[in-house]
Amino acid sequence: MIIAIDGPAASGKGTLARRIAAHFGYQCLDTGLLYRAVARDLRAAEQPLDNVEAAEWAARSLDPATLDDIGLRHPGVGEAASVVAKIPQVRAALLAFQRDFAAQEPGAVLDGRDIGTVVCPNADVKLFINADVEVRARRRFEELSGRGEPVTYDRVLETIKARDARDSGRADAPMSIAADALLLDTTNLDIEAAFDAAVGLIKRKIGQQD
Ligand code: DC
């Protein structure tokens, strides 16, 4: 069983993916961490983010054991990840790891931008999670200021809009809604309501009763 979850930054897809995986007893992969780790390793090697050769090397030599590095959660790393994610060689280098992860029994949940369209086009269930950009910016602002980061709402909004444009505007595997994806808009939902709605959609799709 493969559950693909895509959506833009701060849509709630990561939290939903973890909760859905725990609910069904599946493994969960936040694929954004792979791109974040490539950006981290490039920076550590003092290479610019647009150095294609160095970026491909970083993607090919990525150590999955380093994906729980807390530094990957930093907002600047998310921005840098969005830049390296434009490089086709980086995307190609990360594909096999994601597909192997997805093939695990009894099932896997993967969240990202291109899971339903490119990584797992045959996923059993595809969800596309979205929310109004102002609501996403508000959530991200509250999360970051709660952690003591020196941010303003306006700056977070601007950054999220730029990231949406970069992630959906790139040539290779842009963020897009798979033709057979189920849409979930979390604008007016808290995490509990979003989780209930997502589980309902998944159960209907796989033919389980509530
Ligand atoms: O989900 P996130 O914010 O951790 O992702 C960071 C960046 O990585 C995102 O802006 C674009 C890129 N990404 C991607 O291109 N494809 C994915 N499947 C996941 C993330």
Nearest-CA residue for atom 2 of ligand 1: 32
Is the predicted pLDDT of residue 101 greater than 70, yes or no?
Answer: yes
Is the predicted pLDDT of residue 210 greater than 60, yes or no?
Answer: no
- Residue spans per domain, the chain: 2-196
Which band of pLDDT confidence, cut at 50, 70 and 90, is reported for residue 145? Answer: very high
Structure confidence at residue 93 (pLDDT): 98
What gap in Å lies between CA 2 and CA 206, rounded to an integer? 11
Structure confidence at residue 75 (pLDDT): 86
The average pLDDT across 106-120 equals 98
**Ligand 1 mean position, distance from CA 156 (Å):** 17
89 token code pair: 């060689």
Q: Is the Cβ atom of 98 under 6 angstroms away from ligand 1?
A: no
The average pLDDT across 74-103 equals 96
Query: What pTM was estimated for this model as a whole?
Result: 0.96
What is the architecture of the domain spanning 2-196? Answer: 3-Layer(aba) Sandwich (3.40)
Each residue of 28-80: pLDDT tens digit?
A: 999 999 999 999 999 999 999 999 999 999 999 999 999 999 999 988 999 99
Contact between 117 and 176 under an 8 Å Cβ cutoff? The reply is yes
The helix/strand/coil state of 192 is: helix
**Ligand 1 mean position, distance from CA 90 (Å):** 12
**What is the overall mean pLDDT for the chain?**
96
Each residue of 154-193: pLDDT tens digit?
A: 999 999 999 999 999 999 999 999 999 999 999 999 999 9
Is the predicted pLDDT of residue 24 greater than 70, yes or no?
Answer: yes
The helix/strand/coil state of 58 is: helix
Nearest-CA residue for atom 18 of ligand 1: 112
Number of the ligand 1 atom closest to the C-alpha atom of 72: 4
The average pLDDT across 112-126 equals 98
The strands making up 27-30's β-sheet, listed across from edge to edge, are: 27-30, 108-112, 2-6, 125-130, 182-185
What gap in Å lies between CA 87 and CA 152, rounded to an integer? 30
